Chain A
Amino acid sequence: MSRFIVFIIVLLTSFTSVYARGVYQEPADFVSQAFSGTPPQPKVIWIKDALRQQVEEILDHRYESQRIRYWQENKRSLWILDEVGKTKPITVGIILNQGHIELIKVLEFRESRGWEVRHAFFTNQFIDARLDEKNTLDKTIDGISGATLSVRALTKLARIALLLDQYNNKP
């Protein structure tokens, strides 16, 4: 009987992790929805020199691309960024408004563990977060046990989006 219960638990957890992987929202739909169906033309920011150094300091590894695209309307900007959780990239959409996070959403999750970061109970913690002078978030983000690397990836991406937005709006 106990073997049967263990089998059922293993079966259910494996289904959950497989089910949790996938595209939750297409990036194009996220952009369109964020700007009420009429998104502005995308722009790009070049990642070089001091900015690259800061981005790589946050990521703690080399950043491959030379430019990142974003969408901006007035003081509101939208960023779609990728970062590897454990082995595969997590695609995250981040909307910033006047230097703070308005919304952060996991658009695609490819890993088999740590998918809990897609839930609102976690992502809501980022709302209104800003960047302090050390390029860290001014809010504490509580982790999720068993999803440490995914939590770390999302936190890094939030910091990078805020950093890039800050760089763009520098007088």
Chain B
Amino acid sequence: MTRHHKKPLPFFLWHRRLGLLALVLLIILSITGIMLNHTESLELDSHNIDNRLLLDWYGLNPSGEPLSFQAGQHIVTQWDQQLFLNDRLITTTHEPLLGAINNKDVMVILLSNTILLLDDTGSLIEQLQPAFSPFQRLGQFNNLACIEAADKKKYIADQDIISWQLIQIDKIDWSLPTVLNSSQKEQIRRSYRGSGLSLERVILDLHSGRLFNENWGVYLMDASAVIMILLGMSGVWVWWTRKQKIKTKRHYQKHHRSIT
């Protein structure tokens, strides 16, 4: 009976496999490293990325569709939890936008549980959370702000929007959603991205491995660095053993020739 023992893989083959494994990462590390060494001359920080896939990867593209309300001369928009006055970001909120009106010089923005009062420049006057929240919709009656609560009760504000009174009227001009044209939408999208994504940021994240994953991406690049160290050591080992073998072979051939 013959027993087949699996032959251990020669060391130089391990060396080769390690090299192949790390090759892609080493190429990335080297190229990005060279680029980062010349950040200023390559002007990496002044080049902005416009690639949709990359922007999505960084979470810099709003998801879903914007919801907008016309408030006098202004448009209030909510897009993916961000609230904009025209194309200017006001705040981030998880509360859905229900309406917006312009009441004299005060802009009233209704979220599901919060009322925001802004001045004409978009600065916050006050943030209110009256006891009759959650709300349903916002409107105007005789130039006074009106709110319908989730329980269908209606409330009207005084001129300065300080207190709210329960009312029973039906002729309220409710704030209705408006559709943005493509250029308005694009302006808000640009504002959503803020200063955008610079090429330098992407190269840095690619170099550190954070582009692949925020948590383990760095370890991936660490692993490639460790593999590089191992490659150096195994390379020296393969060279040394081969040198020894050649030396032994030459010695044997010389000795053998002398016998024959």
Contacts and interface: CB of A to CB of B under 8 A. Distances in A.
Contact of B126 (A26, A41, A66): A66
B131 interface: yes
B126 to A, nearest CB: 5
Interface string A26-69: 11100000000000011110000000000000000000111111
Contacts, number: 28
Contacts of A68: 126
Contacts of A65: 124-127
B231 to A, nearest CB: 42
B240 to A, nearest CB: 49
Interface residues of B, number: 12
A66 B125 contact: yes
Contacts of A64: 124
Contact of A28 (B119, B127, B131, B163): B131
Given A66-B123, A66-B125, A42 B131 contact: no
A156 to B, nearest CB: 18
A66 B125 CA distance: 4
B151 interface: no
A28 B164 CA distance: 13
Interface size class, chain A: 10 to 19
A59 to B, nearest CB: 15
A17 to B, nearest CB: 22
B125 A67 contact: yes
A39 to B, nearest CB: 10
B161 to A, nearest CB: 9
B131 A69 contact: no
Interface in A77-131: none
15 contacts: A26-B131, A27-B129, A28-B130, A42-B163, A44-B126, A44-B162, A64-B124, A65-B124, A66-B119, A66-B124, A66-B125, A66-B126, A67-B126, A68-B126, A69-B162
Interface of A: 26-28, 41-44, 64-69
Interface of B: 119, 123-127, 129-131, 160, 162-163
Shortest Cβ-Cβ A-B pairs, 9 listed: A28-B131, A66-B125, A64-B124, A41-B163, A67-B126, A65-B126, A65-B124, A42-B162, A42-B163
Given A43-B162, A66-B123, 5 more contacts: A27-B129, A41-B162, A42-B163, A65-B126, A68-B126
